[in-house]
Structure 1
Amino acid sequence: MDLLEREAVLQALVGHLQATESGPGRLVLLRGEAGIGKTAVIRRLAQLADPHIRVLIGACDPLATPRPLGPLMDLAPRLGPTVRTSLAGALAGTCRTDEVFDCLLADLSTCPGLLVVEDVHWADEATLDLLRYLVRRLPSVPALVVVTYRDDEIGRTHHLTGLLGTLAGYPWVYRQDLAPLSRRAVARLAGGHAVDAERLYHLSAGNPFIVTEVLAAPTEPVPATVREAVAGRLAGLSAPARTVVDVLAVLGRQVSLQLLARILPTPEEPLDEAVACGIVCTDGQVTEFRHELTRLAVLDAVPVASRLRVHRQVLAVMRSAPIAANDLALLADHAEGAMDPTAVLEYAPAAAAHASSSGAYREAAAQYARALSYAGRLPPDESASLLEGHARACLLSGGLDEGIASGRTALRLRRALRDRLHEGDDLRWLSGWLWPAGRAAEARATGLEAVRALEALGPSRELARAYLNLCRLACYGHEGVEATAAYAGKAIALGERFGDAGVLVQARFHAAAARMLCEGEGWEECEHALAEAMAQDLPVDAGLLAVVTCWFTALQRDAVRTTAALSRAESYCLDRDLLSYLLCTRAWGSWGLLNRGLWVPAADAAQAVLSHPGSPPVARSVALTVLGLGQARQGKARVWPLLERAAGLVDPSCLLDTGLGREAGVEAAWLVGDHELVRAEAGRALATLREQGRDHPWLSGPLACWIRRAGGTPPPVPAAGPYALELAGDWAGAAALWDRLGCPYDAALARLSGDVPALHQALAAFEALGARSAVVRTRALMRTRGVRPVRRGPRAATRANPYGLTNRELDVLKLLGEGLSDAEIGARLYITPKTAGHHVGAVLTKLGVHTRHEAARRLLRSELR
């Protein structure tokens, strides 16, 4: 079949390939619906590549639970010995996955290359991690990486969606779409065939796969669906050839000829017939269907009894030979297809453990779930172990509810077995994840129960972790320095005794964090503990500490530290597939953007958290609160429903723990001028904190300030930094401190207590930020104080721009889109390079981005909307 209407795509790909030979690497996402011709384009690109360019092509398999690093296994024979050795070690569990990534990067750096990973919609988590790792480092290697996937199968809940969102921010990532063939192209392909070209176009909608299938079986009726087209192709095969095709369909996408020969006697001639018919193709080593849709259509037509027989044959053949770690997922898949519970229970847990060691937590959870469907055959203690593994994998991969459910079931089994040690440890795990589930009170009660159960058994590693859990909960619940330090001390003593490095770094971190929040000291110790966790390769511990750092810097309204902490945490959690931690990181990040007055980027970040089905309730609550508060500040409608939804996701105490929820409602009331509600709600929140012994300076301070701003007299409470200054009447000092922290909105609020110039300054700040509700409140305050004249709002063009850019800043943004330097922008706009630089800085700040490339991409996205 001719490769029609792909010239532009191929020209672009060849251009990217040539550019990478002498410049930084690039990544291209080649996407389109199933059957659109992605593989054909890749093959032609490989033919067009210069001979000195190394071409590496691997593909993901459509297994129910994909094998870790499947594409890399396909490429292994063409990679260097270092990569092959590290890959074998990773699959055997003797070395870390990131070592494989490092070796592959080094191998790609040796010469210009084309690396293709096909069908990443079937990718395992380790492969997605590999792509995340590579894309961030591509500028350092002379390679073009092309990734293909079916965009018609990628919904918002698909595991690939997160990776695609991550890639959106890289300027060296490009996208190529393959469109359906035109009517003219279909007619050209149909020339010489006894088919109606117009009807063929109508039935195929220009899909090259369907067109090819129809034209390959011209004597069959014109199919209405792909299934009918495949059935027509199969009708011409001999019985032995049909048997080979059926067996290949059951075996999977790629099948070695050696394995096929062990399943079927003398398959050579029937296979040749199937190849000649165009159903499958072979390179002499492996056989595969030309398209997965063909295989699925064939598979659906294979009788259930035949499928069962083939699965059992494959299982027997694979079990008769030495089993490699990378075969475990395939064995588990065939074991389930063979309806062999014993084999499922043998291979699925092992495949799950292997996936976990590779950092593929979602695959681990799926394999545990597969094993659990047969857990009724196991003794209770083995069932409990499977449930515990499933719970941990789910909790780390975004399946919070599912993980908690498995954890509760495991706990019931351990209690029935009177296994007190595992019961206490399960209680501790459950407690630790109830907090992000929004159940703070239950988390604390469960954590205390875990400690009581484990203390009765004497010192243990499990007891150390249980003390650590209470230390964390005390810190998160703002119970004070003494309570947090007491639990930290117990955890450290046992952590040192049993050599648990994770306990030590976490306990030291949280003890320091409590001091940092209450006393303003301890930041350096927190940073040291986090760096130590990362250096010791404690991914789960380090990931948690990185997330908590984002939360606490956002709570302290420290824009600089929040931005740095967010970048570090997101990178770390992405590289290690810590999805639950990543989503919490992004929620705190949206709050950080809100603190900086970046309403639109904050809303975008919050929506991204809410759109992900794996977001924990606490993260969703924060994101909803950010959306509601951002809309309230901009004078938009539907504020209270958002805040009410946020409150309904978590315990009332969690709203105070995060330092955002209850305060947001109080501010929203102030923005609409309901001072009585402000005083009442803030007073109730302060009373709750006092009753619970959590008079925390970063929680009590803002509530007391809102009472003062609403004309009330706040009770004496501990207040942090700028809040303390404002409550003491030093509005200028408070505003200056807010300015240093990078919080222009809060600085303007503090200036509302000041003199006439301060009021004018506050009004100008609110107008520049697009904080329309605050503008209205400020003008009313100025009228009450007899301050005249009241400034008019920003120009209409600035108000209409969603990012609050002025016309001059819009001009600068457009020139950034052309890749111009400050000097070139200055020459274009007849301003000095220094002035141009100031405008560039303002644009980056308002857009909430860090680089000129990110600003240019934001401009491109807005133009395409």
Structure 2
Amino acid sequence: MSTGVGRAAAKADTDGVKLLERDSALASLAEYARDALAGDGRLVLVGGEAGVGKSSLVEAFTERLAGTMPAARAAWGLCDGLSTPRPLGPLFDIAGELGGELLERSRARASRDELFATLLRQADAPGELHVLVLEDLHWADEATIDLLRFLGRRLRGARILLIATYRDDDLQSRDLLRIALGDIATQRTTRRIGLAPLSVRAVEHLAGGSGIEPADLHRLTGGNPFFVTEVVRSGSAAVPASARDVVLARVATLGEDARAVLNAGALIGNRIDPRLLAAATGGPPSVLDELVMSGLLIGDGGLLTFRHELTRLAVEQAIPQHRVSLIHARILAALGELGRDDDAGAAFHAEAAGDAPAVLRYAVRAARRAAELGSHRESAAQYERALRCADGVPPAELAELYDALAAELSLVDRGPRVCEVAGQARELWHRAGNRLREGAAQRRLSAALRYACRGREALAAAEDALATLAPLGPTAELAWAWATLASQRMVSEQHELAIATAARAQELAVALGLPEVHSDALITEGCSRAILGGDWLGPLGRALDLGLAHGLDEQVGRAYINLHGMLCTKRRYPEAERYYQEGVAYCDEHDVRTYATCIRAERVNTLADTGRWDESLALGEYVLTNRVDASPLNRVTPLVCLGLIRARRGEDGVWPALDEAAELADGCEGPQWIAFVRAARAEAYWLEGRQEPARREAELVADAVAGGDEWARGLAVFWLRRTGSDRMPEGTLAEPYRLEADGDWPAAADRWDEGGSAYEAALVLLESGDEDARRRALGILDDLGAAAAARVARQRMRREGVRAVPAGPRAATRAHPAGLTRREREVLALICAGHTNAEIAERLFIAVKTVDHHVSAVLGKLGVATRSGAAKEAVRLGLVTA
């Protein structure tokens, strides 16, 4: 079994002590390997602090596996610790070990989709188990995290054991890995292993015979195996001030030449090619031998690595500052002499060396390759690096850099920064006298302004871009200008005009062979037709197919979010579910962060509308905190849902969320956003008993929905009636709203219930005037935990003379271990009895669609993915008997 030449053997002298108290973790890995060999692949996330022994654990496991499972083969990939890592570095490492088709495609600079698919196909070989190890994921680039997501979703049925190691002690909430782990952990194939520091007893064992007091050693090191080992290896009976002092004490015993070579190695990084090190320092082979013998460096196949990253950091931090840039310059020169294809590394060393021309050369090439591999965050970082060193560059060349940066930032949801960058590009192209590129930059600025909630400016910029480009003849830039203007008109509720404008864009796109523009314009056409009541699924479906066929990540992302969002707007939640699941997976795996955030934001509203409030709050907080750099427009929906659910529950934090949402929606000037936010504010005021401000907000909804569809008009009517306004928008209403307006409250409540919107059904029942219906409404509100709405219901019932009004929430619901409502408990019992959704609907006298929503809510609250999983969890919790 291949484990990377010499990898485990090189650490044999320390692995034995580091693996104290790791038997359980090794046994778990062995179990997961057996599962994977049987065709049930596993992704194992191995987390722990720096120095806790993550790599040692995996190395020992693969060595043991070689003796027990001859069909197993391991390949390793290592993430770089550079400030801007090489995209897909671990995949290319694995390709070098596996060889074959993956290596061929890597050398041919294949697209990342090809590389991902090839790795999966090659690793899932009949009769073999491939153990793929991704080390140090805390340094991973976006493309590597996307690879982790890609493989994690496809391990079921694969003979692959994927092990990912990462530091979990300093991950911030906004770190890409932290965000990805939250998504990946929900996959059925994912397992976690957390490595804890050693106990006092284990440290005492390691310190035996050293003369060091075990308690002092444990206090100093916190039980960290690396630190413990380093102190014990030092041979001193005294406990040093820190483990860093131990490393530097060992460095001090080296000769001057060896220290110089070691310093250069520390600046090269955690993977050192001996030829590069020799070329950068001129050090003879004997010096490298001295460093290996000292234990500071170890051999790892044809490379050298520091025994631990903590060792490298200790050496790096001790280098006198005045020498650092000189060493980086020598490393950069050596990379050139050896002809290395490492633009990301060269750009890093060039910037550290203060070599601006070299930074421009290498950073731009690294940015382009990162974009090709779908690592858009790293691509943007490289363009930012180039711009930091672009003093004196001619306006046209500088404008090219700003254009490229704006394109990358637009994909990673950095709306305000895109506005700034696109605006700079426009000014530079204007100064350079290039009207074509100036118009293109203006068009990109228009799109960015919309996401920054600057709607009026966005529409004006789109019109200006078209005015600039139209006189220049039929070009790709003009086609994009038509498409962008169509989108801006659609958002501004100018739907007839938007459709006509989108048609102009499509006509030009077809003539010029521009599938990306064609797809984008089809999406806009579909959205406007949905509002006007025409065929909208056709254009949106064609847009998605076109995007998928041509690998147009941005257009595919936009198509998914609009298909999902429009179906949700029309309360067709079961149909929308497919597009949500497919859309999230696609956007995550292709690093289309803007739409990945957008579709999750829409999901927050879907969960809120269908009574899954805990899930809605959790996802809303995730979007607002883990994606804190999200474009302002992507914050509106989560803010509204958080504020509204808190208002319904009578909790704090309502108005800060709703006030921010109103400010953003008003800035966007999109009527649909304004109506959405103002309706939420009307409800929040109504729940507080503040009728006058509630009425004002409801009338703002009515103002905003003039160009909207039947659902938007219905929403306005819903709150105008409840707040006592005599205003009514003209036009037809969606069925539940129309039935209530006609006085048929039983049918209206049934329609809401069939769609999974129990809260709206309860509010309709509350307006009915029927005592039994109001009691039913109160039961629904109590089940949902809608304390404020239930309070309104009780006050109204008592005011109108209803006797024996229930005093509070039902104790059974309040105490339920999974937080299930009465109806959800009924559904769970029938799931456990083996009934289908259709049979459950028949037994409970509700629609199958309503059962679909209840089943989804039950699975979500129980934290399981399947009906059988729900049954097992129900037995475990004692909700049903086995």
TM over 0.5: yes
Q: 1:557 to 1:755 in 2, by over 3 A?
A: same
Question: Are 2:83 and 1:83 aligned?
Answer: no
Correspondences of 1:517-666 after superposition (within 5 Å): 517-519=531-533, 521-611=535-625, 612-652=627-667, 654=669, 656-658=671-673, 659-666=675-682
Matches for 1:157-556 after TM superposition, within 5 Å:
157-219=174-236, 222-265=239-282, 267-324=284-341, 327-480=342-495, 482-519=496-533, 521-556=535-570
Deviates most, 724-733 or 100-109:
724-733
Is 1:671 paired with 2:687? Answer: yes
Distance 1:808 1:290 in 2: 59
Cα distance in 2 for residues equivalent to 1:288 and 1:80: 23
| Alpha-carbon shift at residue 257 of structure 1 (Å) | 2.2
Percent identical: 37
Distance 1:858 1:368 in 2: 50
Whether the 8 Å CA contact 2:455–2:670 is kept in 1: the answer is no
Matches within 5 A, 1:138-157: 138-157=155-174
**Greater shift in the superposed pair: 781-790 or 178-187:** 781-790
Q: After TM superposition, give the deviation of residue 792 of structure 1 in Å.
A: 5.7
Which residue matches 1:57?
A: 76
> Please, which moves more after superposition, 546-555 or 439-448?
546-555
Q: For residue 249 of structure 1, what is the amino acid of its counterpart?
A: A
Further displaced range: 33-42 or 386-395:
386-395
CA distance in 2, matches of 1:812, 1:295: 58
Q: Which amino acid in structure 2 is aligned with residue 559 of structure 1?
A: Y
Number of equivalent positions: 841
Cα shift at 1:856: 9.2
SS, match of residue 694 in structure 2: helix
Q: AA paired with 1:161?
A: R
Look up the SS of the partner of 1:55 in the other structure: strand
Q: Rate the CA distance shift 1:273–1:451 in 2: closer, same or farther, 3 A.
A: same
Shift of 1:653: 5.2
1:40 to 42, 50, 56: 56
Counterpart position of 1:829: none
Q: Residue 281 of structure 1: SS of its match in structure 2?
A: strand
Alignment correspondent of 2:6:
none
Alpha-carbon separation, structure 2, partners of 1:553 and 1:811? 28
Query: Structure 1 residues 231 and 414, CA, compared in 2 at 3 Å: closer, same or farther?
Result: same
* Aligned-residue CA RMSD (Å): 3.0
Selected match of 1:708 from 700, 715, 721: 721
| Bigger mean CA offset, 543-552 vs 47-56 | 543-552
The answer as to 2:28 corresponding to 1:12 is yes
Q: Give the deviation of 1:465 after TM superposition.
A: 0.8
**Distance in 2 between residues matched to 1:99 and 1:239, nearest whole Å:** 48
SS at 1:139's partner residue? coil
Moved more, 589-598 or 163-172: 163-172
Distance in 2, Cα, partners of 1:781 & 1:772: 14
Offset at 1:785? Answer: 4.9
Q: Which amino acid aligns with 1:116?
A: V
CA distance in 1, matches of 2:694, 2:873: 38
Corresponding position: 1:749 with 2:763: yes
Deviation at 1:121, TM superposition (A): 0.6
Kindly tell me: are residues 242 and 853 of structure 1, through their superposed partners in 2, closer, same or farther at Cα, counting changes over 3 Å?
A: farther
SS at 1:660 equivalent: helix
Q: How does 1:825-844 map to 2 (within 5 A)?
A: 843-844=858-859
Q: Is the 8 A contact 2:671 2:704 kept in 1?
A: no
Distance 1:848 1:446, change over 3 A: farther
* Larger mean Cα displacement after TM superposition, 182-191 or 719-728: 719-728
Distance 2:268 2:235 in 1: 29
Structure 2 residue corresponding to 1:799, chosen from 814, 825, 829? 814
How far residue 396 of structure 1 moved from its aligned partner, in angstroms, is 1.1
TM superposition shift of 1:97:
0.6
Deviation by residue 1:441-499 (Cα, 9 ceiling, x = unmatched): 2211111111111123232211111111111122223223x121121121112112211
Secondary structure of 2:310 counterpart: helix
Distance 1:847 1:626, change over 3 A: farther
Q: Which amino acid aligns with 1:109?
A: D
Given that 1:461 and 1:498 are in contact with CA atoms closer than 8 Å, whether structure 2 keeps it comes out as yes
Q: Which moved more, 1:167-176 or 1:265-274?
A: 265-274
SS in 2 for 1:153: coil
Distance (Å, rounded) in 2 between the aligned partners of 1:330 and 1:725: 66
Question: Do the aligned residues in 2 keep the contact of 1:216 with 1:233 (CA within 8 Å)?
Answer: no
Q: Aligned match of 2:131 in 107, 111, 114?
A: 114
Deviations 1:315-362 (A, max 9, x none): 2232234453xx111111121122211111101011001101100000
Counterparts of 2:594 and 2:511, CA distance in 1: 31
Q: Which amino acid aligns with 2:611?
A: G
1:784-832: per-residue Cα shift (whole Å, max 9, x none)?
Answer: 555555456542131245864159977998x99xxx975699xxxxxx9
- The alignment's TM-score, normalised by the length of structure 2, stands at 0.90
**Is 1:699 the equivalent of 2:716?**
no
Q: Is the 8 A contact 2:48 2:166 kept in 1?
A: yes
| Residue equivalent to 1:72 | 91
Give the equivalent residue in structure 2 for 1:123. Answer: 140
- Quick one: structure 1 residues 801 and 638, their matched pair in 2 at CA, closer, same or farther if it must change by over 3 Å? farther
What do residues 714-767 of structure 1 show as CA deviations (whole Å, max 9, x unaligned)?
324234413334334443443343334332222333334435254344333323
Take 2:682 and 2:821, find their aligned partners in 1: how far apart are those partners? 32
What residue identity is the alignment partner of 1:207? N
Task: Describe the shift of the 1:164–1:246 C-alpha distance in structure 2 as closer, same or farther (beyond 3 A).
Answer: same
Structure 1 residue 689, shift from structure 2 partner: 5.2
Tell me if structure 2 keeps the 8 A contact 1:600–1:803.
no
In structure 2, the CA distance between the partners of 1:701 and 1:369, relative to structure 1 (3 Å rule), is: same
Q: Which moved further from structure 2: 837-846 or 28-37?
A: 837-846
Q: CA deviation at 1:62?
A: 0.5
Q: CA deviation at 1:586?
A: 0.9
Mapped partners of 1:845, 1:278: distance in 2: 51
1:587/1:620 contact within 8 Å kept: yes
| 2:682 counterpart letter in structure 1 | V
Flag the 1:103–1:11 CA change in 2: closer, same or farther, 3 A: same
| 2:134 maps to amino acid | V
Bigger drift between 758-767 and 124-133 goes to 758-767
Please tell me whether the aligned partners of residues 523 and 543 of structure 2 are also in contact (alpha carbons under 8 angstroms): yes
For the residue of structure 1 that corresponds to 2:169, the secondary structure is helix
CA contact (8 A) 1:213 1:233 kept: no
Instruction: Classify the secondary structure of the residue corresponding to 1:651.
Output: helix
Contact preservation (8 Å) 1:125, 1:360: yes
- Return the offset for 1:252: 1.4
Q: Deviations over 1:103-132 (max 9, x none)?
A: 111112102122111100111111111110
In 1, the alpha carbon distance for the partners of 2:386 and 2:871 equals 49
SS state of the match for residue 193, structure 1?
coil
Alignment partners' CA distance in 2, 1:578 and 1:355: 14
Q: Is the 8 A contact 2:210 2:237 kept in 1?
A: no
The offset of 1:505, in angstroms, is 1.8
Conserved? CA contact 2:493–2:670, under 8 Å: no
- Rounded to whole Å, the distance in 2 between the matches of 1:287 and 1:412 is 49
Displacement of 1:858 after TM fit? 9.7
| Partner Cα distance (2:61, 2:826) in 1 | 39
Alignment partner, residue 828 of structure 1: none
Q: Rate the CA distance shift 1:765–1:549 in 2: closer, same or farther, 3 A.
A: same
